Structure 1
Amino acid sequence: MARIKTPSLDQFGSLGEFIASQRRAARLTLRQLADQAGVSNPYLSQIERGLRKPSAEVLQQLSRALRISAAQLYVRAGILDPEEHESTSVEVAVLADNAINERQKRVLIDVYTSFVAENAAATEATPTATKE
C-alpha cells in the first residue's frame, strides 16, 4: 500500500527534470505541454526548473498530457513512497480529486491505508483450517 510522504526540495528538482525529459521524449514544446495540461508557460517552466511545487491535481493534468502514469509523477514528487509505489486506484483517485485540498487527501489516504492494514492483520490472525 502506498504511503503519502512529505517531499523534500531536491525531489522537486528531479521531478522537474523528469517532466522536462518526458516532454522532450514526447516531442512537445513547453508551450504545447502547458496548453495540454491547462497550466501557464511560466508555471510549467518553474516546475521543470524545480522552483515550484506542483499540486497533485497539476501532476494529474501533466500525466494525462504526457500520457504517463500519475503514480509515476506522485512518486517522483515524493507524494507516494517509492518503495510502495504500487498505488491503488483509490489512492490515485483521491490524489486527482479537485474537490478536496492536499491535507484532506493525505488524511483520506491515511485512513484508507489503516483500514487495509487492519484487514490484512485480521486475515493473518485468522487460523486456517487444516485438512486431516
Structure 2
Amino acid sequence: MNDLGKIIKLRRVAAGLTLKELAAKSDVSSSYLGRVERGERFPSATVLRKIAQPLGFGEAEVLALAGFMSPQSETESEAQLVRLDPYVAGVLSQEPVEVQRTVVAILSILKSLAKGSNCNIDFAEYVHRKYPELDEDIITRVKDMLDHPEGSSGLSPT
C-alpha cells in the first residue's frame, strides 16, 4: 500500500465510512477505491477531487498529498514555519517528506475524531494495529486529549 492509499484509508475509517459509502458519496466505484487504498492504482486529480469532501480533505490538501500541486514557495513555507512551535518544526524538518505528510494525515484524523465524527473504532486499538512502533505512552496521552480536550496538554516535548 502506498502512502497516499494509506492516508485515504485512514481518513475513510476515521470518518466511519465503508468503501461502498465513500463510493456513493463520491461517485467513484468501491472496487476502484479499494485498489487505490491498497496501492494498486494511483488516483487521478479528478478522483481525488471527488473523494476530498466526503473524507474531510480540502481539495488543495489532497492534491498536494498526491503530488499534483507544486510545493509551496519558499516565502510561504517560511511564513508557515513562523507559526510552528520551534520544537515541532525542528523535529519534522529532520524527517523525510513522506513522514511529514503522514504526521499531517494523522493530525487530520485526530482532528476529525476530536470533532466527534461518527467513528466506531477504539482509538488505542486502531493505532496499535496500524502503528505498532508508536510508544504506548504517546497513544495513551493522545487518547486522553481526545477524551478530555478541555484540559489536556499531554504531548509537550518535556
Query: Normalising by structure 1, what TM-score?
Result: 0.51
User: For residues 25 and 3 of structure 2, what CA distance do their matches in structure 1 show?
Assistant: 22
Counterpart check, 1:67 vs 2:67? no
Partner of 1:13: 2
* 3-state secondary structure, aligned to 1:28: coil
Matches within 5 A, 1:31-70: 31-70=20-59
Counterpart check, 1:24 vs 2:17? no
Moved over 4 A (4+): none
Please list the CA deviations of residues 17-62 of structure 1 after superposition, one character each: whole Å capped at 9, or x if unmatched: 1010000110111111111110111100001111112111110110
Specify every segment of 5 or more residues in structure 1 that has no aligned partner in the other structure, as ranges: 1-11, 87-132
CA RMSD of aligned residues (A): 1.8
Matches within 5 A, 1:110-121: none
The structure showing larger relative contact order (alpha-carbon pairs under 8 Å, at least 6 residues apart) is 1
Aligned residues: 74
**Contact 1:14 1:76 (8 Å CA) reproduced:** no
Please list the CA deviations of residues 66-109 of structure 1 after superposition, one character each: whole Å capped at 9, or x if unmatched: 1221112111111123444x7xxxxxxxxxxxxxxxxxxxxxxx
Larger Rg over CA atoms: 1
Specify every segment of 5 or more residues in structure 2 that has no aligned partner in the other structure, as ranges: 77-158
Query: Normalising by structure 2, what TM-score?
Result: 0.43
